[in-house]
Amino acid sequence: MALSQRERTRPRPVNPLELIEQVVQANDWPFDRTSEREIAAEVAGKWCDYRLFFAWRDDVHALHFTCAFDVRVPPERHRDVHALLAMVNEKLWLGHFDLWSEENLPMFRHSIPLRGTTGLSIEQLEDLVDIAIGECERFYPAFQYVVWAGKTPGEALTASILHTVGEA
């Protein structure tokens, strides 16, 4: 939908992967620039290493981002994991969790449309990665409880979001 002539004449956003590669290198994260449109990196978290994947789609002027963690979901646990995904996604403001069917891995996903902007800012990139890793750290135990401890999605979510108060 075109809103105005002014909107149609704005410059096209620049491929943000150059900025992403600079940030990845500055943080000394292992990475692989698989093409001009994709970059993958790895970040250590509290529970596991997270695999970050950035893909630029010039035709829609959007950056697609995923953050996967290594909790292989056996096929017999898919139903419970999908129920957990629905419960977890209700608690998110940005992005969503999904199950990568090819690899059977849970992942956080989010896309940022950049049409009409000058491109991705460093602050947007930092927020994107911080939010993704924060949400993965927050819900990692819930996935573990469902996949390996045999808990129901409700039990797993309740147990994973308990916040301790004080010190023992």
Prediction pTM value: 0.85
Question: Is the residue at 148 inside a domain?
Answer: no
Question: Is the residue at 36 inside a domain?
Answer: yes
Q: Using 50, 70 and 90 to split pLDDT, how confident is the model at 110?
A: very high
* Structural domain boundaries, residue 91: 10-136
Q: What per-residue confidence (pLDDT) applies to 39?
A: 96
Bridge partners (DSSP) of residue 38 are: 35, 55
Q: What per-residue confidence (pLDDT) applies to 159?
A: 85
Question: Is the residue at 85 inside a domain?
Answer: yes
pLDDT exceeds cutoff 60 at 148: yes
Q: What per-residue confidence (pLDDT) applies to 12?
A: 67
Percent of the residues in the chain that have a pLDDT greater than 90, as a whole number = 71
C-alpha span between 161 and 139 (Å, rounded): 8
